[in-house]
């Protein structure tokens, strides 16, 4: 993950990188309904340019590893797509569920990794990335093994 050294916090707008042996998967969401997945596109050995935010100051960054001991070095048993079913009510809608003007939209919410011991998921937190160490079990979430 990209760490904001200046603020001493995770910079959630940058991709989260999952390293698996000699390959890496880069996961990023920076808009409400977008989630991108790329492979081996980011070179973490390169210096990261500071971000000058004028009135706020200059932010400096570095790549850091997740410190969760339960996931580092674990074997991935399964990768799953995390789908979120967004539901809304619109009485004037031509689309409806149960004829009540309710609409449902499915979003690619993130990617989950079932490990030999534990779980980690990277998901869209509206306009930034977030990480979870457990599966959400409410009815809006669906998990599709790949």
Task: Count how many domains the chain has.
Answer: 1
Distance from C-alpha of 2 to C-alpha of 60, rounded to nearest angstrom: 10
Domain containing 38 equals 2-145
pLDDT at 60: 97
Q: For the chain, what's the residue count?
A: 146
CB proximity list for 90: less than 8 A, separation 6 or greater: 101, 102, 103
Q: What angle do CA 63, 134, 8 make, to 5 degrees?
A: 30
State whether the Cα torsion 74-132-114-122 is positive or negative: negative
> What string of pLDDT tens digits covers the 146 residues of the chain?
999 999 999 999 999 999 888 899 999 997 877 889 999 999 999 999 999 998 989 999 999 987 666 677 788 999 999 999 887 766 665 555 555 556 777 888 899 999 998 899 999 998 899 999 999 889 999 999 99
State whether the Cα torsion 63-68-69-75 is positive or negative: negative
pLDDT at 70: 63
**Joined tokens for residue 6:** 């200046």
pLDDT at 20: 84
Distance from C-alpha of 31 to C-alpha of 95, rounded to nearest angstrom: 25
pLDDT at 111: 95
Taking the CB of residue 63, how many other CB atoms lie within 10 A of it? 14
pLDDT at 97: 52
Distance from C-alpha of 91 to C-alpha of 81, rounded to nearest angstrom: 31
């Amino acid at each position: 993950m990209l760490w904001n050294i200046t603020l001493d916090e995770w910079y959630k707008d940058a991709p989260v990188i999952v390293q698996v042996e000699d390959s890496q998967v880069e996961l990023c969401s920076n808009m409400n309904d977008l989630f991108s997945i790329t492979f081996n596109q980011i070179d973490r050995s390169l210096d990261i340019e500071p971000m000058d935010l004028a009135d706020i100051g200059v932010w400096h960054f570095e790549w850091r590893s997740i410190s969760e001991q339960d996931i580092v070095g674990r074997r991935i048993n399964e990768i799953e797509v995390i789908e979120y079913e967004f539901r809304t009510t619109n009485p004037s809608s031509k689309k409806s569920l149960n004829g009540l003007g309710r609409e449902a939209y499915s979003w690619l919410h993130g990617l989950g990794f079932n490990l030999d011991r534990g779980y980690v998921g990277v998901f869209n937190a509206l306009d930034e990335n977030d990480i979870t160490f457990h599966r959400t079990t409410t009815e809006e979430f669906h998990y599709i093994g790949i």
